[in-house]
Amino acid sequence: MDNEFLMPGKFFVTDKSVIVETVVGSCVSVCLYNVESGEAAINHFLQDVPVEKEKVDIGQYGLTSTEHIINVLMAKDPVPDHYVAQIFGGAALVEEGQAGSDIGSKNVQIARQILNVHRIRIIREEVGGKRGRCIRFNTAMNTVFCEFTDRLEHQNCVQ
């Protein structure tokens, strides 16, 4: 099975069996899976919504990135009941009261909101807290291994 590492601000959509790995802190990853076709998608976004509407990098924002992966999958199968989602990340890595201390919770909120709009059921959430998470998404089985990490680098994920 192929392995992919998903960098912040990126997304990955596939109909193949792949292990997609990423490390999130206040960022969030949404793992989508079509239970009928086996197609899957994952994103890794940094902020909830873009401040400026022009020249937006869709992968950077929960609003645009989550919409994009949903739209790509639903272009082939538009039935919301065929999809399930898992959400990871959204930690509070900045001390409360400091600028940016609510980024993680805002990221989780936008992911939930977009999934709700599209009527996609969330089957698992591991969000919040004060530590990052290493996640490994097996697109063949819709399983996600998730463990806490204090270092937000790729080589610190379990292989």
Please report, as a single letter, which amino acid is at residue 108: V
Domain ranges of the chain: 2-156
Residues 141, 138: Cα–Cα separation, whole Å: 6
- Chain segment 5-45, per-residue pLDDT in tens: 999 999 999 999 999 999 999 999 999 999 999 999 999 99
- Strand 143-149 and strand 132-138: the pairing is antiparallel
Question: Would the pTM of this model clear 0.75, i.e. be above it?
Answer: yes
Kindly report the CATH number that applies to the domain delimited by 2-156.
3.30.1330.200
Q: Angle 90-3-122 (CA atoms, 0-180°, nearest 5)?
A: 35
How confident is the model over 93-112, as a mean pLDDT? 80
Strand locations in the chain (E): 2-5, 10-14, 18-24, 28-34, 40-44, 83-89, 121-127, 132-138, 143-149
Strand order in the sheet with 83-89: 10-14, 40-44, 28-34, 83-89, 121-127
Query: What confidence tier does 64 reach under pLDDT thresholds 50, 70, 90?
Result: very high
Give residue 55's pLDDT.
Answer: 78
Give residue 54's pLDDT.
Answer: 77
Give residue 52's pLDDT.
Answer: 78
Residue with tokens 């399930």: 84
Lowest mean pLDDT across 13-22, 52-61, 117-126: 52-61
